[in-house]
Amino acid sequence: MRKKTGPQFLANNSQLLIPLIAILLLVIFNLIRDPGFFSVSIAANNKGDPVLQGNLISILNGASELAILSMGMTLVTAASGGQDISVGALAAIAGSVFVKVLKGGVVSGPIVIAAFLACCAVSMLFGAFNGSLVSFFRIQPMIATLILFTCGRSIAYWINGGATPTIESPIINAVGSFIPGIPVPTPILIVILMGILFALIFRFTTLGLYIQTVGINQGAARLNGINAVGIKLLSFIILGACCAVAGTIGVSRLGLINHETLLINIEMDAILAVAIGGNSLGGGKFKMLGSVLGAYAIQALTITLYAMKVPSTDVKAYKAVVIVILVVMGSPVVKDAMSRFWTKLRSKRPAAAGKEVA
Amino acid sequence: MNKLPDRSPARRREPVTDTQLLLSITICIFVGMYIMAMLIWGGGFKKPQMLFDILNDNAYLVIISCGLTIVMITGSIDISVGGVTALVAMVGVMILNGSNHLFDGLIASLGLAESWRIVFALIMSLLIGLAFGAVQGFLIAHLEIQPFIITLAGMFFARGMITICSVDPQKAPQDLMDILQKRIEIPWLGSVNKKGVLIPAKMEIGVVIAAVIVVLVFILLRRRKLGRGFYAVGGNRQSALMLGVNVRHTRFMAHLICGLLSGIAGFVFMMHTGAGNATNATAAEMNAIASSIIGGTLLTGGVGNVIGTFFGVLTLSTIKSIVTTSGLRDPWWQSITTGAMLSFFILLQSVVLMRKNRRRRKAKKAAPTNGDKPKDG
């Protein structure tokens, strides 16, 4: 885990405190409950390849789609000051297109790539639809994406003609679980790849800065020569691409597309990840790392609850309690009160110490 | 839309407000759509019972949407309403059928009749709704946490509590349901069937409750200080504060009322279905948001009308019944058409508001880029 962070790092990235504390608390809690909780072992899977196993791996692996979606969601949130609630539906559409193309012929390397590109194109198109509603027509993002939220999964159903087709192929297996010879689950590698990609984009382009500028003050950004409409549109298109990746992983994991259950409720988790990551849901400054950490914190919570034998249907209620505790801790009012309390405490202590000396 | 000529200075000096404009568009479209459905598919749509069926099925949605409209007017959001509704329905059914031992014991020890269960179910509904509203309102208004996150947690909590209460679907006993599902018959709106027998139009009690709530919320929003405060807070929190509105209290009250209304909606839902199920009222929050939007409430706050919301619910559910009657029987069509209609409404509103703002700005002619909230690219 990424708990080893220096004080300097924390000073620069104080907003990462919330997800880090959340992860830390979960880690400590789990270690107290079961010291072997995070042990990672190498076992052979049913094909005889060595693979990593353990709760840590299942947390990292299970959060992959969420982490990827929360990356895109961070950009959309920062640029438009609103959230896209259609990501789950969009991922389902992308997955359907992916399967639809694969069903067209024999599954081979180039066809998988073609299918991925096709689903990328489709979901970027839908992203552009959302984005144009938000940027050209100035509709609030939540309402604009409500359209796809309502009908997205039905469109996915429609694409597959009312069926839930399955695909069997070693290539799909490699994407969804393990590449033969590499013990780390492939989704984790894809997340790392996406992370590097975004890091490079932010390092070598001004996209991040522009998105922050548009999010903080759209009018000022426009007066400074930034194409605010275009930036918003672009952020939604990027989120569309993220949905395509997440949808592909989700489909490959199971080897089938089920429009009803694929990444269900993930839009809520993705928004939550952005919020836990310390990003303002009102737009403006953002830290993508925070959202990704938030995604892992959510997954760690889920896995912890599963490990405590909580039925999967009840997990939501416990999750809600933890979320409320987290956001209450992070709320500005509580923070202010805490810091006032802290300064009071500190101002008292030297006085008391002084008295003792005297 | 045809309200625009009214803006001529001779007839009305006040310009049409955003609320009135969007409201009139919604009502026009609903009436137009219903008449179109009558002309094309005739049959069912010509009978008043069709309208009553739509109302019977969606009374709970009307109530939820009223609460959500209030919250949206204050510039906040509540997505826990569907979950609370389902939770209340589940708890209510469990009290009715006696699988909740606490209330069973209470009723037995007090020696009350079976029908007292209904009273307890109603009290519990209101309490659960109020509790959700109060906790969420406190966290949002006083601790200034983003409403989306808190109410999302509220939704998770409510949905999780349903399965903690009972994983299996519960059913209310028939004798109690007979009391709850008593229908009001309206003979003069009835229709004559093929045998020549007059079948009166039937309306459930839930519809009456919903209607009363719509009127009450309308009065609250129009005539009460608190209701005007909702608009003030939603329009501009800073200036509301400077005008002496207690912003925190107002936001708290908005969420409290919304919670209470979702509790009532849960009871109405239970009256309609008589079943507690984990998948009850799925996506009701999104339907309610969609209805409010169709009715002309803006998510940014400050603009909205509960009458519009009522017509929003009607429009949304009429679209659904039109789709089913028009023979598109594949399961995906209903939500695809809903989505298409939703995008039509959203675009229409956006275009209308943009045109209006442009016109207003042209009239001003001064200060081309500052002042007005939305700007043209």
CB contact under 8 A, B331 and A162: yes
**Is A264 contained in some domain?**
yes
Q: Is the dihedral of CA B35, B352, B219, B182 positive or negative?
A: positive
C-alpha span between A86 and A84 (Å, rounded)? 6
Please tell me whether residues A272 and A351 are part of one structural domain.
Answer: no
What domain range is A152 assigned to? 67-287
Q: What is the DSSP string of B105-171?
A: HHHHHHT--TTHHHHHHHHHHHHHHHHHHHHHHIIIIIS---HHHHHHHHHHHHHHHHHHH-SS-EE
Please identify, in words, the CATH class of the domain defined by B35-353: mainly alpha
pLDDT at B8: 47
Q: Is the pLDDT of residue B10 over 80?
A: no
Task: Please list, in sequence order, all residues whose beta carbon lies within 8 angstroms of the beta carbon of residue A185, skipping any fewer than 6 positions away.
Answer: A51, A52, A57, A60, A61, A64, A177, A178
Please tell me whether residues A198 and A124 are part of one structural domain.
Answer: yes
Please tell me whether residues A226 and A112 are part of one structural domain.
Answer: yes
Please tell me whether residues A317 and A207 are part of one structural domain.
Answer: no
CA of B289 vs chain A CAs: smallest distance (Å): 8
Q: What is the mean pLDDT of residues B95-114?
A: 75
- Which of A235-249, B15-29, B92-106, B108-122 has the highest mean predicted lDDT (pLDDT)? A235-249
Q: What is the pLDDT of residues A98-142, one digit of tens each?
A: 988 888 777 778 888 999 999 999 999 999 999 999 998 888 888
A318: which chain B residues are within 8 Å (Cβ-Cβ)? 160
Q: What is the mean pLDDT of residues B113-137?
A: 89
pLDDT at B6: 47
CB contact under 8 A, B150 and A324: yes
Q: What is the mean pLDDT of residues B278-306?
A: 83
Quick one: pLDDT band at residue A12, thresholds 50, 70, 90?
Answer: low
Please tell me whether residues A196 and A342 are part of one structural domain.
Answer: no
* Nearest-Cα residue of chain A relative to residue B348: A137
Give A 158-177 residues with CB within 8 A of chain B. 158, 162
Please tell me whether residues A270 and A237 are part of one structural domain.
Answer: yes
Q: How many CB pairs under 8 A join A and B?
A: 147
pLDDT at A349: 65
- Which of A245-249, A343-347, B100-104 has the highest mean predicted lDDT (pLDDT)? A245-249
Q: For residues B7 and A139, which has the higher predicted lDDT (pLDDT)? A: A139
Q: Is the pLDDT of residue B3 over 60?
A: no
Q: What is the mean pLDDT of chain B?
A: 82
Residue B300: DSSP 8-state: T
Domain ranges, ordered by start, for chain B = 35-353
CB contact under 8 A, A327 and B375: no
CA of B150 vs chain A CAs: smallest distance (Å): 7
* Nearest-Cα residue of chain B relative to residue A159: B332
Show the 3-state SS of chain A: CCCCCCHHHHHHCHHHHHHHHHHHHHHHHHHHHCCCCCCCEEEECCCCCEEEECHHHHHHHHCHHHHHHHHHHHHHHHHHCCCCCCHHHHHHHHHHHHHHHHHCCCCCHHHHHHHHHHHHHHHHHHHHHHHHHHHCCCCCHHHHHHHHHHHHHHHHHHHCCCCCCECCCHHHHHHHCCCCCCCCCHHHHHHHHHHHHHHHHHHHCCHHHHHHHHHHCHHHHHHCCCCHHHHHHHHHHHHHHHHHHHHHHHHHHHCECCCCCCCCCHHHHHHHHHHHCCCCCCCCCCCHHHHHHHHHHHHHHHHHHHHCCCCCCCHHHHHHHHHHHHHHHHCHHHHHHHHHHHHHHHHHHHHHHHHHHC
**Is A319 contained in some domain?**
yes
Residue A148 in contact with partner chain B when CB distance is under 8 A? yes
pLDDT at B375: 39
CB contact under 8 A, A155 and B369: no
C-alpha span between B82 and B266 (Å, rounded)? 9
Find out whether A326 and A276 touch, Cβ atoms under 8 Å.
Answer: yes
Give B 68-127 residues with CB within 8 A of chain A. 77
What type of residue is B218? Answer: F
Select from A147, A311, A320 the Cβ nearest to the Cβ of B342. Answer: A147
Last residue of a domain, which of A287, A320, A338?
A: A287
Q: Is the pLDDT of residue B118 over 80?
A: yes
Select from B149, B289, B334 the Cβ nearest to the Cβ of A275. Answer: B149
Residue B333 in contact with partner chain A when CB distance is under 8 A? yes
Closest CA to B71 of B311, B217, B258, B290: B258
Select from B149, B290, B298 the Cβ nearest to the Cβ of A272. Answer: B149
**Is A59 contained in some domain?**
no
Please tell me whether residues A320 and A209 are part of one structural domain.
Answer: no
**Is A106 contained in some domain?**
yes
Residue B344 in contact with partner chain A when CB distance is under 8 A? no
CB contact under 8 A, B148 and A271: yes
Q: Is the pLDDT of residue A348 over 50?
A: yes
Please tell me whether residues A202 and A246 are part of one structural domain.
Answer: yes
Quick one: pLDDT band at residue A353, thresholds 50, 70, 90?
Answer: low
User: Which of A134, A137, A142, A151 is the best substitution to test chain B (most B C-beta atoms within 10 A)?
Assistant: A151
CB contact under 8 A, A147 and B331: no
Please tell me whether residues A248 and A329 are part of one structural domain.
Answer: no
B339: which chain A residues are within 8 Å (Cβ-Cβ)? 147-148, 150-152, 154
Residue B150 in contact with partner chain A when CB distance is under 8 A? yes
pLDDT at B60: 93
**Is A326 contained in some domain?**
yes
pLDDT at B276: 81
Q: Is the pLDDT of residue A35 over 50?
A: yes
CB contact under 8 A, A133 and B346: yes
pLDDT at B259: 95
Least confident of A115-119, B116-120, B254-258: B116-120
Q: Is the pLDDT of residue B372 over 80?
A: no
Please tell me whether residues A316 and A353 are part of one structural domain.
Answer: yes
Q: What percent of chain B has pLDDT over 90?
A: 27
Question: How many domains does the structure of chain A reveal?
Answer: 2
Q: How many CB atoms lie within 10 A of CB A164?
A: 16
Select from A158, A268, A319 the Cβ nearest to the Cβ of B336. Answer: A158
Q: What is the mean pLDDT of residues B328-349?
A: 78
pLDDT at B286: 82
Select from B152, B289, B375 the Cβ nearest to the Cβ of A268. Answer: B152
User: pTM for this one?
Assistant: 0.81
* Nearest-Cα residue of chain B relative to residue A141: B299
Quick one: pLDDT band at residue A241, thresholds 50, 70, 90?
Answer: very high
Q: What is the pLDDT of residues B185-210, one digit of tens each?
A: 777 766 666 676 777 778 888 899 99
Residue A281 in contact with partner chain B when CB distance is under 8 A? yes
Q: What is the mean pLDDT of residues B331-336?
A: 79
* Nearest-Cα residue of chain A relative to residue B153: A320
Quick one: pLDDT band at residue A280, thresholds 50, 70, 90?
Answer: confident
Q: What is the pLDDT of residues A296-305, one digit of tens each?
A: 998 988 888 8
- B170-171 and B183-192 beta bridge pairing: unpaired
Q: Is the pLDDT of residue B371 over 60?
A: no
Residue B298 in contact with partner chain A when CB distance is under 8 A? yes
Quick one: pLDDT band at residue B130, thresholds 50, 70, 90?
Answer: very high
**Is A52 contained in some domain?**
no
User: Which of A154, A264, A309 is the best substitution to test chain B (most B C-beta atoms within 10 A)?
Assistant: A154
A332: which chain B residues are within 8 Å (Cβ-Cβ)? 144
Helix axes A228-254, A207-216, angle to 10 degrees: 110
Q: How many CB atoms lie within 10 A of CB B370?
A: 8
Task: Please list, in sequence order, all residues whose beta carbon lies within 8 angstroms of the beta carbon of residue B238, skipping any fewer than 6 positions away.
Answer: none
* Nearest-Cα residue of chain A relative to residue B342: A147
Last residue of a domain, which of A238, A271, A287?
A: A287
Asked if this assembly's ipTM is beyond 0.90, the reply is: no
Residue B290 in contact with partner chain A when CB distance is under 8 A? yes
C-alpha span between B335 and B319 (Å, rounded)? 10
Q: For residues A32 and B44, which has the higher predicted lDDT (pLDDT)? A: A32
pLDDT at B281: 77
Q: For residues A25 and A14, which has the higher predicted lDDT (pLDDT)? A: A25
Residue B134 in contact with partner chain A when CB distance is under 8 A? no
Q: What is the mean pLDDT of residues B231-247?
A: 90
Give A 282-301 residues with CB within 8 A of chain B. 282
* Nearest-Cα residue of chain B relative to residue A310: B164
Residue A318 in contact with partner chain B when CB distance is under 8 A? yes
B298: which chain A residues are within 8 Å (Cβ-Cβ)? 140
Q: Is the pLDDT of residue A206 over 60?
A: yes
**Is A61 contained in some domain?**
no
pLDDT at B18: 67
Q: For residues A108 and A230, which has the higher predicted lDDT (pLDDT)? A: A230
Select from A229, A313, A321 the Cβ nearest to the Cβ of B157. Answer: A321
pLDDT at A18: 77
Q: How many CB atoms lie within 10 A of CB B171?
A: 16
Q: What is the mean pLDDT of chain A?
A: 84
Q: What is the mean pLDDT of residues A48-57?
A: 80
Task: Please list, in sequence order, all residues whose beta carbon lies within 8 angstroms of the beta carbon of residue A190, skipping any fewer than 6 positions away.
Answer: A64, A68, A245, A249
Residue B154 in contact with partner chain A when CB distance is under 8 A? yes
**Is A213 contained in some domain?**
yes
pLDDT at B72: 92
Q: Is the pLDDT of residue B150 over 80?
A: yes
Closest CA to A102 of A155, A159, A153, A61: A159
